[in-house]
Copies of this chain bind each other. A is one copy, B any other.
Amino acid sequence: MKPGKVLVAQGGGPTAVINQSLVGAVLEARKFPRVERVYGALHGVRGIINEDFLDLTQETTHNLERVADTPGSALGSTRDKPDEKYCAEILKVLMAHNIRCFFYIGGNDSSDTLRIVEDFARKAQYDLITIHIPKTIDNDLMVNDHTPGFPSAARFVASAFAGINLDNRALPGVYVGVVMGRHAGFLTAASALGRKCRDDGPHLIYLPERNFEIGQFLSEVKSIYDKLGRCVIAVSEGIHDAEGTPILSSMLARTLEKDAHGNVQLSGTGALADLLTNAIRDNLGIKRVRGDTFGYLQRSFLGVVSDVDQREAREVGEKACQFALWNNACGTVTLHRVGHYAVEYRLDPMISVAGKTRIMPDAFITPQGTDVTDAFKFYLTPLLGSGMPDAFRLRAPRVPRILPGS
């Protein structure tokens, strides 16, 4: 990196550990004399074109450490997906401030933005290091073993289903929990880690990697309910029919809000859970049917976090800075599993993750398509971190009945 300023920004949905990456990059960058200042852009790329910068060189290390432990995007985030004109604006501002290194913490859309900015800088013969720092609760980045943010969200989902299973066992019925994940089912699949005993829920798991058919769904629910007298179901918000149309769109007439990327709004509404619980109630004649949409709790809940995730999120930020300052290299920091359990970080070409989506491999899904394999449980278990709460049952013997006719 040429002498000048470092800029950090956060894009897309916040996670429980995205501030670890921010702080990892900022603290490391502040060590190098070549770095004149470390700026933070408010609300992602939007803050760049608006010149809304904080001077993070003047933030205390103590407070940065506290912010690192706080969920949400401390700099603010954005859903803007810059086109070429927008990226040209970004470069103009970077050049005006003599910013020589730009770290963008985000998912596959954010890496695509960096790819364009990097291309423009090269054409303008402006020395700029761009590094993408991965984060997403969806775990849908290519190349990576997993993505910072996902393990903490997975811990929330597994803990939630462990509790829901206890509740459902106490007051039996059917329960549908809708989990985030538009194209990749990793987070929904994490619900399986909430199970302990053989008859624990979730008893059925529906992923966007498989087509969803309502008739099949109802018969699978009936089969579990007939056997156990209860049924806990984990459903991805992204389930779709054989044509790829989201179930919510294909079954509801109401026009749904679409976001800037042209996607139908799936989160922040209870519509899918209500649609499925109504279908169960109306078709199977089961009385106690409940549905919850985990919504924003699963990515922002204060106090549920994986310490493994915290550690790795910190390191991807720190490594990004080291790749920039020591190696003078652009790219995306990627996370690789090199043991059970250990990881290594690499710098890969931006193009390897930019704009691409990784989904669950077939080896993680059972042939029936409504559960995960032991391979997936082996993959996810170390990521959930230490101190996962456990659930216990009474195992006292039954008392023989003594009244006639009972």
Contact = CB atoms under 8 A, between A and B. Distances in A.
B53 A399 contact: yes
- Give the top 4 A-B pairs by smallest Cβ distance, nearest first: A270-B270, A72-B166, A268-B290, A292-B295
Interface residues of A, number: 90
Contacts of A390: 66, 70
Interface in A287-329: 287, 289-297, 299-304
A257 interface: yes
* Residue among A63, A97, A281, A304 with the highest chain B CB neighbour number at 10 A: A304
Contacts of A397: 54-55, 58
Contacts of A289: 268
A72 to B, nearest CB: 3
A357 interface: no
A24 to B, nearest CB: 15
Give the most central of A71, A273, A297, A389: most B CB within 10 Å: A297
A238 interface: no
Number of copies: 2
Contacts of A406: 50-51
A304 B297 CA distance: 13
Contacts of A257: 281, 287
Contacts of A300: 163-164, 166-167
A4 interface: no
A347 B162 CA distance: 35
B291 A269 contact: yes
